[in-house]
Each structure stands twice: as structure tokens, then as C-alpha cells.
């Protein structure tokens, strides 16, 4: 059941999937970049974390940070009051390519795990969100074809996903990140 009452700690969290995403944010970040293979439980955490735009933007900011960032202080982004990370559009310092590649591949692994279960257990919004984040990771690494494919799969699941729409548009207009030019 979704609620429309904002929490006092994070007024931009209004629905149950947004609250679940915020709760799993740090664990989702660790699952995306950690050394251990993505387990079934970690795949659920990744898709849950990607269930809200605020947490996806926080994950993107975390992944784009070129320094070895620690997920313990990670918090969601309020897209209405905080500036979007420059990396969203490929500006700023280049992220660590190995970290971004691993995260993108794990986003796709989470989608595949969801697909193997017949689409049960996680919300479509989170699975589409994970694919959209994986699309951004591919785009950030200069693989526009892979990014466009991932974005289209995300849009097939959820036609109004904002991150997938943005990545798809950047790929169609052949706009690479500034750090790849």
C-alpha cells in the first residue's frame, strides 16, 4: 500500500517503493561495486534500491565519484531541491571505468534474475530502474549501442522511466559524455 504522507526525514519519499529504496540504498551500492558475485538476495536489493529516482540518482553520483567512495554515508537525492550530479550528463571528472562497468553489469544481472523468476518478487519499477542505471553505466563508458539497448529494455518495462528516457535520448542524439570526447 502506498502512502502520500511524506516522512519528516526525507520529504521527497512518499510511496512504499521509495521508502524501501531509501532503506536499501547503502546495501544496493555495496552490491553494485563489491567484490563478491551478485547473489539472488543482492539482486533483489539492487532492484529494490533502483525503485525510486532519488536513490538511482544517488547511486549514479556514487558510481561517478572517481575516488574510492564508501557507501556508508550514502543518502538519497531530493531531485526537487538538490542539483543533479554533473556526471548525469557526462560532465566532471571521469569515473572509475572498472567500477562503473561492474555496476552496469550487475544491474543487468539483477534484471536477469528477476526475469528467471517470471517477474515475481520485485516491482517492475525497480527492475526498469536497474536497467536504466545499467544503461547510464554503458553510456558513461562510451558504449552507446549497449546503453541504448539497455535503455530500450527498461522502457519496455516502464515506458515513463526518466533515466532510461534520458539515456535513450543521449544515445539517439549521439551525445557522448564530456570525459569520453
Alpha-carbon span 150 to 126, nearest angstrom: 14
3-state secondary structure at position 166: helix
Residues 124-178: tens digit of each pLDDT = 999 999 999 999 999 999 999 999 999 999 999 999 999 999 999 999 999 999 9
Sequence-distant (6+) residues with CB within 8 A of 8 are none
* Residue 161 DSSP one-character state: -
Contact 130, 121 (CB under 8 A): no
Alpha-carbon span 18 to 54, nearest angstrom: 8
Residues 83-128: tens digit of each pLDDT = 999 999 999 999 999 999 999 999 999 999 999 988 766 689 999 9
**Which pLDDT score is estimated for 11?**
52
C-alpha grid cell for residue 172?
A: 539517439
Taking 50 as the threshold, does the pLDDT of residue 51 lie above it? yes
Contact 103, 90 (CB under 8 A): no
Write down the number of H helices and E strands in the chain.
8, 0
**Which pLDDT score is estimated for 122?**
67
**Which pLDDT score is estimated for 7?**
44
Cα end-to-end span (Å), the chain: 46
Taking 60 as the threshold, does the pLDDT of residue 55 lie above it? yes
The band of 77, judged by pLDDT with boundaries at 50, 70 and 90, is: confident
Radius of gyration of the chain (CA): 15
Taking 50 as the threshold, does the pLDDT of residue 82 lie above it? yes
Give the pTM.
0.89
**Which pLDDT score is estimated for 158?**
95
Residues 9-48: tens digit of each pLDDT = 455 445 677 888 888 999 999 999 999 999 999 999 999 9
C-alpha grid cell for residue 16?
A: 512504499
Taking 50 as the threshold, does the pLDDT of residue 6 lie above it? no
Alpha-carbon span 59 to 160, nearest angstrom: 20
Amino acid at each position: 500500500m502506498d502512502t502520500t504522507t511524506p516522512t519528516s526525514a526525507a520529504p521527497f519519499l512518499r510511496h512504499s517503493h521509495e521508502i524501501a529504496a531509501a532503506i536499501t540504498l547503502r546495501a544496493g551500492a555495496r552490491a553494485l561495486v563489491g567484490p563478491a558475485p551478485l547473489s539472488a538476495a543482492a539482486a533483489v536489493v539492487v532492484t529494490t534500491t533502483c525503485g525510486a529516482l532519488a536513490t538511482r540518482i544517488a547511486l549514479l553520483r556514487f558510481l561517478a565519484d572517481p575516488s574510492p567512495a564508501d557507501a556508508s554515508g550514502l543518502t538519497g537525492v531530493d531531485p526537487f531541491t538538490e542539483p543533479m550530479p554533473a556526471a548525469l550528463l557526462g560532465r566532471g571528472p571521469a569515473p572509475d571505468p572498472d567500477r562503473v562497468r561492474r555496476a552496469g553489469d550487475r544491474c543487468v544481472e539483477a534484471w536477469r534474475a528477476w526475469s528467471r523468476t517470471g517477474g515475481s518478487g520485485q516491482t517492475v519499477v525497480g527492475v526498469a530502474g536497474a536497467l536504466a542505471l545499467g544503461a547510464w553505466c554503458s553510456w558513461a563508458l562510451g558504449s552507446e549501442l549497449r546503453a541504448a539497448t539497455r535503455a530500450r529494455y527498461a522502457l519496455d518495462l516502464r515506458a515513463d522511466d526518466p533515466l532510461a528516457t534520458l539515456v535513450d535520448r543521449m544515445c539517439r542524439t549521439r551525445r557522448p559524455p564530456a570525459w569520453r570526447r
